A and B are shown apart, each in its own frame.
Chain A
Amino acid sequence: MSSEASPAPSIGLPVGLLAELTHRCPLACPYCSNPLALEGREGELSTEDWKRVFSEAATLGILQVHLSGGEPAARRDLVELVQHCASVGLYTNLITSGIGVTEKRIFELADAGLDHIQLSIQDSDAESADKIAGYKGAFAKKQEVAGWIKAAEFPLTVNAVMHRANIARSGAMVELAIALGASRVEIAHTQYYGWALPNRAALMPSRAETQAAIADVEALRKRHLGQIVIDLVIPDYHATYPKACMGGWAKQFINVTPSGKVLPCHASETIPHLEFWNVKEHSLSDIWNASPAFNAYRGTAWMAEPCRSCDRREIDFGGCRCQAFALTGDAAATDPACYKSPQHALMADLAETDSSGQPGEYVYRKMPANPA
Chain B
Amino acid sequence: MSETAATPLSAIPTFPRGVRLKHDEARQEWVLLAPERLIKCDPIATAILQLCDGKRALSEIVAMLAEQFKADKDVIERDVVALLQGLAEKKMVRL
Contact = CB atoms under 8 A, between A and B. Distances in A.
Interface string B30-45: 0101011010000000
Given A93-B35, A154-B18, A225-B89, 8 more contacts: A60-B26, A91-B20, A91-B33, A115-B35, A116-B35, A118-B36, A157-B36, A226-B88
A157 B88 CA distance: 17
Interface in A175-197: 183-184
Interface residues of A, number: 26
Given A93-B35, A184-B36, A226-B1, A59 B18 contact: no
Contacts of A93: 35-36
Interface in A223-255: 225-229, 231
A20 B26 CA distance: 24
B33 A59 contact: no
Contacts, number: 62
Contacts of B20: 91, 115
B24 interface: yes
A60 B46 CA distance: 23
Interface in B51-71: none
B27 interface: yes
Given A226-B89, A229-B91, A13 B18 contact: no
B35 A63 contact: no
A89 B24 CA distance: 10
A155 interface: yes
Which 9 A/B pairs are nearest by Cβ-Cβ distance? A155-B18, A61-B26, A116-B35, A91-B33, A116-B18, A183-B91, A226-B1, A225-B1, A226-B89
A15 interface: yes
Nearest to B19: A155
A314 interface: no
A13 B28 CA distance: 12
Contact of B18 (A15, A63, A115): A115
Nearest to A62: B26
A15 B26 CA distance: 10
A311 B82 CA distance: 32
A64 interface: yes
B78 interface: no
A155 B15 CA distance: 12
Interface string A53-74: 0000001110110100000000
A61 B27 CA distance: 7
A66 B36 CA distance: 9
A330 interface: no
Given A15-B38, A154-B18, A184-B91, A64 B1 contact: no
A63 B24 contact: yes
Given A61-B27, A153-B17, A154-B18, A183 B35 contact: yes
